[in-house]
Amino acid sequence: MAIAPYGEPYIMTINWNKTPLIPAIAQDHETNEVLMLAYMNEEAYKLTLSTGYAHYFSRSKQRIWKKGESSNHTQEIKDILLDCDADTLVLKIHQNGVACHTGTKSCFFTSVVQEKRVLEQEVNTNVMYGVVDTLYHTILERKNSTSTEKSWTKKLLNDKELMLSKIREEADEVCVAIDEESDEQVIYESADLLYHTLVGLGYRDISPDRVKQELARRFGVSGITEKEKRVK
């Protein structure tokens, strides 16, 4: 990187060919509190600049997302700082609502030293994100937890064969319920299947948003045609 003579201003630019995905740290513009870390590609960066609101590239959803697109907890850009290597951003923002999808002000709420949560949930996110997304993130929390507390979710995640057998079992029970049982039992068994399928997605770190994207892609496409296009 060429350095301008002392006292002469220069503007650094991001080399997107070298670094197609860069970290973006969201920081409260008044308190300097670090609220979250996400990633940007060039499209997200340009959208952030043009709209004045933070946009990121979700590695789990594999798409561009505007912060607050579901919750309306948006991030208004006050300034953007680029580091000396031109490969990391600090977004100085005004946070509307809370930054974390868990309903906590900051995504950094667990103290490793104190071994406990140091920030409390401020907003109930179930209504904003829907039960499927909330359940999926709860599954990820169980997956990453070091707690010794007994958890069926954790047991499934730690035993792939058990997890796969439960998904097969629940799928069969849904079929039996649809064929022979009451509507209430169909709903009950479907909920069991959905939960165990979400555990499987969590095992693979595949966001359910990607399943929604796939369903959206199929709208207007014949089921027969779609199957014929699949790679065998």
Q: How many CB atoms lie within 10 A of CB 13?
A: 7
Distance in angstroms (rounded) separating the CA atoms of residues 193 and 208: 14
| Predicted pLDDT at 2 | 38
The domain made up of 22-117 is a member of CATH 3.40.50.300: no
Per-residue pLDDT of 155-209, as tens digits, reads 999 999 999 999 999 999 999 999 999 999 999 999 999 999 999 999 999 999 8
pTM beyond 0.85, yes or no: no
Q: How many CB atoms lie within 10 A of CB 164?
A: 14
Percent of the chain with pLDDT over 70: 88
Q: How many CB atoms lie within 10 A of CB 56?
A: 26
Distance in Å from the first CA to the final CA of the chain: 47
Domain ranges for the chain: 22-117, 130-216
Q: Residue 64 contacts by C-beta under 8 Å, 6 or more apart in sequence?
A: 41, 43, 44, 47, 55, 56, 57, 58
* pLDDT tens by residue, the chain, 232 residues: 333 444 445 567 898 988 999 999 999 999 999 999 999 999 999 999 999 999 999 998 899 999 998 888 999 999 999 999 899 999 999 999 999 888 889 999 888 898 888 888 887 766 666 788 889 989 998 998 877 778 999 999 999 999 999 999 999 999 999 999 999 999 999 999 999 999 999 999 999 988 988 888 888 665 445 444 554 4
Where does residue 196 rank: exposed (0-12), middle (13-18), buried (19+ CB within 10 A)? buried
Distance in angstroms (rounded) separating the CA atoms of residues 28 and 77: 10
**130-216: CATH number:** 1.10.287.1080
